Every structure is written in structure tokens, then in C-alpha cells.
Amino acid sequence: MERTENITPVQAPEQTPAEKPLTMKKKSKVPVSRIVVFAILVLYTFLLFFPLYTVVVTSFTSMMESSFTTQFVWLPKHPTFDSYVSVFTKDINAEYLGVPSLLVGFWNTLWITLLPLVVGLLVSGLSAYAYTKMKFPGKEKLFSIAFIISMIPLGAFGVISYTFYSMIGWTGTTLPLIIPGMFGSMGTVFFLKMYYEGVPDSYIEAARMDGLGSLGAFFVIVFPLAGPAFIAQFIFGFVGGYNNYLGPLLYLQGDPDYITLQLVLSQVTTLFPGEGQETVHCAAAILGMIPLIVIYAFLQKYFIEGIAVGGVKD
Amino acid sequence: MTDEKILSAAEPAAEAEQLHSQVRLPKKKRKWTGEAILALVLALIPLIGFVVFSGFPLIISLIALFCDVDLYQLGNFTWNSFEGFKVVFSDGYSVPTYGLNMAPYFYKAIGITIWVASTQLVTLLIALVISVLLATAPKGRKIFQILYFVPYICSTVAVSLMWRWFFNAETSGVLNTLLGTQIRWLEEPSFMTWCIIVAIMWQAPGYGIVMYKAALANVDKAQYEAASLDGANSWQRFWYITLPGIAPTTFFLLLSGVSAGFLTYDIAALIIPDGWTGYIGGKESMGLTLMRLVYWFIQNEQLTTSVVSAASVISWVLFAVTATLSIILFRRREKSMEG
């Protein structure tokens, strides 16, 4: 493949003599390589969204049309919302719960995610503040110990930790999903600490001269200035909590009262049993994805930042 | 607060600093002021959480390597003479009171896990190619960037529902319609692992694309100009400037990706469930990852406590792999910081 133009994202401002003929050519017509690049990107977009399309289109197909066919229905003849209605009305657990499982799941997911996230962020934020802007003996030593400990990758113990929670009697409750997060995380502390270091000490001193305590200075000066960092961490945590499957699966043990959204989605075949219910399953999957996608549409800049930085710290 | 105030407050503070340092000396004896204690407490909370909720489980799983543990009582351990190791490693050794020979599952799971983890290379390659193409500033670049990240925020459960629908066994299944076939993709051992891998490859590159975007923007632009002057073509520029420039990111993505690949649970368990016929990890265990085996041992706690030992053994094997990868990554990062 011939790539005539610069690889650099930004065109160099100064035109060197060697490059001149190139730019002139660009003006006259679009180079072939540009078209090829564009075509590849469009193709990749298609590959990503084609599977999503099949789920969306099935969710709008009537059960009749999707059952009595030997071919996949690419475009339903009579698009219908029936499957979406069924998600809320045909749920076999709805009677027991009083509300459709999907709504119970959504509500449970919200509070199980937000409670530890908000408390944990505040705790991490204050902890990072103590490490950065407050004084106590042994601070540097404690920080380096914390740094080394938190570098240990603990993902491998995600499932075996169940034994610990079982021994302290927390399995079958929401506690293992909520309490640990409330203590904040060292990863978040490191990230916020980097951010705080950009806040001049003089700002805090000035605030304290105005009669604020050290905590007051945190809430009035540091917290607002580090807002973007908190938002990024919040979004990273929210996406992780919203999509968490293994945690609720391990610890909630099928208690329908505490079922989370992802558990509902993983159980669609038992919640909506029978032949030809796939349209309902697809509708449920779409409904489960929509909240995050809608938030993403509005806050994509923060999403991408949050997940990029959140990933690095792990 | 206005900027003026901050400026005026900053300068005298700096001058006063010198005076203070002399006056403050006797005060230093009283280190633990109320504020220092508050700071220490604030600094300690995340560490305490870490010790309790990560440290204790780790210690218990360490003990469980060699002891039967009582899942309903803390601190009740009895030596089990390497029962867990025998269950995992020794082919032909059956789990006491249950009589199931687990070692073949373990060896099978190692193969599948390495297979799944190794496809992270392909994921990385996809992310790299797409990112380099995006860096040429094509039309609609911003929109592409936004769209490419969508799979990454979709939940694994929804994604697995999507792919199970895509690979539906009926002739009306999406893939079967496209190919005009009637293959039971999710129940055919030769296809099952690929179904998991396709789903991972669909979802995972979004992260790499985001990370590469920043890395590519940071490559020194002057080098490209110099290379162009020297007559380097675009391929040479990519090979000798771009690729070395983004090497740290590539290294990070590769190791963290492989690490995550070794810990695959969700997508494998959701796309290829255990099934009703007593399979672990689907037919011929073609969807069985090591993490799934750990989960299987744990959820079958009614067996014997020695399966907890076995689950611990596998967890520590996985930890050894992921810890090695992070040490390599950490060393490399320190080296590049020195150099």
C-alpha cells in the first residue's frame, strides 16, 4: 500500500522544499491512499456494528416472523415493540418480585455500584490529600510501602477470595461487593496524588489563612481543582461496577431480591423460557446496554480518559 | 477566591519560611499534632482496606494450598498432605469422596487458557493498525474514534448474548444464514474456542486504540520531518520512527492484555456454559479456562474441602504467571525511565 502523506497527525506547519510537490498534488485530487485508509476504517466500523445490528433488528422482529423462517430476518416486515413489552410483562420472576427482574436488577446495580464508588472516591481523595498536602511523621516511608504493595496483581485471587468472605459469613449478602470498595483504592490514590501535585501549596496556605482547616482546604480548593480527575475515576468505576458479572455471581448466589442487571441478562433464557423467545432475549440485551451507551454519547471524552487512566493504574 | 489574593499570599509566605525554620525548632518535638494524626488516619484507610480485603484472602488461599479449610469458620485448618496438588496435577488421582479425576481438566484448561491469552497478539495488532490509520487524520476521524470505543463499554454479558445469537445453531442463525450452512457453532468442539476468541477480539481492541492515540501523538514530529528530508518513505518512517516511539505502549498493552487473557472467565463462561450433561467448560471442555476451573471447584464446595485446596493451587499458578508479567513490565518501565 502506498502512503504518500505524513503519518503524523498534525501537518507540519513549515513546508520544506522536499514536501512541496506533495502538498500541491494533494490540492489537485485526493490521493488513493487516503481513500484506502478511509475504506479500511469504514470496513472496521461495519465489522464492529454488524453483530450489534443483528441483535437490534431481532429485538424489533415479531416472534412469529423470527420463528417461522429458515433465514435470518435482516429487516422485519412488520417491526414491533412486542419484545420490549415482553421483557417487562412476561418475566417469570416478576410476580415474586412485584416488579420485572430487569428493573430490580437495574436498581440493585445502581446502588451496589454507586455506594462503594462514591464513598471510596471520597476516601481515596482524602488519602491522596494526606499524602500530598499534609504532614505526618513517616509519610514517605508509608507511601513507598503502599506503592510496592499495590503493585501486586491480585486478579488471580478474584474467585478464591470467596473462601475468605465465606469464613466471615458475608457470602449470600451484598457486603463483599460494597464494603471493600468503601475503603478506596491505592491505585486511585496514586492517580489523584499526581493530579494534586499540580495544585500549588500556596493555594492551600491562602485558604488556611482565611480560616479553613486542612479538610476545609481540601473541599474548597483541591477537590474542585481536581474535578476532572474525580470524574474520570468515577466513570471508570461506574462502568466497571455496572458491567460486573463475576462478583454478583459469586456472592449473591442467585438471591432474586439482590439480582443485578448483569445477572438478569445472564439468566434471560430461564426468565423467558420457551421456543422462539430469542427476540425477547435480544430486547433485554439492548435494554441492558442502552444506559451506558447513552451516557457515553454525552460524556465520551470523560469515558475515554477515565478508562485510559484507570487502566494504566492497574 | 481571586487570583490576586493567592499571589499576595504566596510571596510573604516564602519570606516567612526562613524566619520560621529557626523559630520552629523546639516545636519539632511534638510531632504528633492533631493534624498529623488526622493525616495518618486518612492516609491509612485505603491501606487498611487493602490489607483486610486483599491481604487476608491471599493469606487464607496460601494456607488452603496445604490445609483443608472450614468454609464456615475462620481459623479452622487441618493439614491435608498435598491433597490439593494431587487433585490438580496427578492424573488418575480422584477427588476424595467424589471420585472425579480432575487433572485432565486442569491440563486441558492450561491449553485453552494459553490459546485464548495468545490471541491478545492479534487484538494488539488490530489496535495498532487502526490507530496508525487514524493518526493519518482521515475524514471523520473523531467519529471513528468514538465508535471504536463502543464495544469496550458494552457489558460482557450483553456481548455474550449477542455472539450466542450470532452463532445460533438454527439455519436462521446469523452466521449460518450468511454462509448457507447449518453448523452448531457453539456445540462443535472445533469451533467453540474460536467463538470465545471472536467475541474477545470484537470487544478488546477499543482499549488499545485509546492508548495508542495518546502514544502516537507523543512521537516527536521533528523526527518525521528529518526522515522525510533524508528521503525515507512512509513505510520506513513507520518502521524506524513510529514503532520504536510507541514501543513502551505496545509493551504495556501486550503484557497487560496477556495477563487479562490468562484470567479470562466471564466471556468464556457465558458463551460456552458448562451445560447440563456434566461437562465442565462445554463439550470436550473446549471453553474451559483456568479461572473457570477455579470457579467450578469453589461452587462445588459441597464436595470436600480439598477442592478448595485445588482451587488455591490453580489460583497461585495464575498468580505466578500474572506476577511475572507485571515484574517484567515494571523492570522495563524503570529501565526506560533511567535511559
- Read off the pTM: 0.86
Per the CB < 8 A criterion, the answer to whether B118 and B301 are in contact is no
How far apart CA B306 and CA B317 sit, in angstroms, is 17
Segment B183-226, tens digit of pLDDT: 999 999 999 999 999 999 999 999 999 999 888 988 888 888 88
Pair (B116, B49) in one structural domain:
no
User: Could you tell me if the ipTM is greater than 0.95?
Assistant: no
Q: Scanning every residue of chain A, which has its alpha carbon at the shortest distance from the alpha carbon of B329? A: A151
Mutate to test the interface with B, among A70, A72, A262 (most CBs of B within 10 A): A72
Whether A301 is in a domain gets the answer yes
Per-residue pLDDT band at B57 (split at 50, 70, 90): very high
Q: Which domain holds residue B273?
A: 105-338
Whether A17 is in a domain gets the answer no
Whether B4 is in a domain gets the answer no
Contacts of A43 (CB under 8 A, 6+ apart): none
CATH code, B270: 1.10.3720.10
Pair (B71, B127) in one structural domain:
no
Segment A97-151, tens digit of pLDDT: 888 999 999 999 999 999 999 999 999 999 999 999 998 999 999 999 998 888 8
CATH code, A279: 1.10.3720.10
Q: Scanning every residue of chain B, which has its alpha carbon at the shortest distance from the alpha carbon of A298? A: B146
User: Largest Cα–Cα distance of chain A, in whole Å?
Assistant: 78
The phi, psi pair for A82, rounded to 5°, reads -50, -40
Q: Which of A152, A221, A245 sits opposite B323 (nearest CB)?
A: A152
Per the CB < 8 A criterion, the answer to whether B211 and B224 are in contact is no
What average pLDDT does range A172-187 have in this prediction? 94
CB contact under 8 A, B171 and A70: yes
Q: Which of B39, B138, B148 sits opposite A38 (nearest CB)?
A: B138
How far apart CA A71 and CA A68 sit, in angstroms, is 9
Element (H, E) at A215: helix A214-217
Chain B nearest-CA distance from A196, in A, is: 14
Q: Which of B57, B147, B270 sits opposite A164 (nearest CB)?
A: B57
Whether A21 is in a domain gets the answer no
CB contact under 8 A, A206 and B291: no
CB contact under 8 A, A162 and B74: no
Pair (A55, A201) in one structural domain:
no
CB contact under 8 A, B166 and A184: no
How far apart CA B157 and CA A34 sit, in angstroms, is 37
Whether B173 is in a domain gets the answer yes
Q: Which domain holds residue A51?
A: 33-80
Joined grid coordinates for residue B118: 495468545
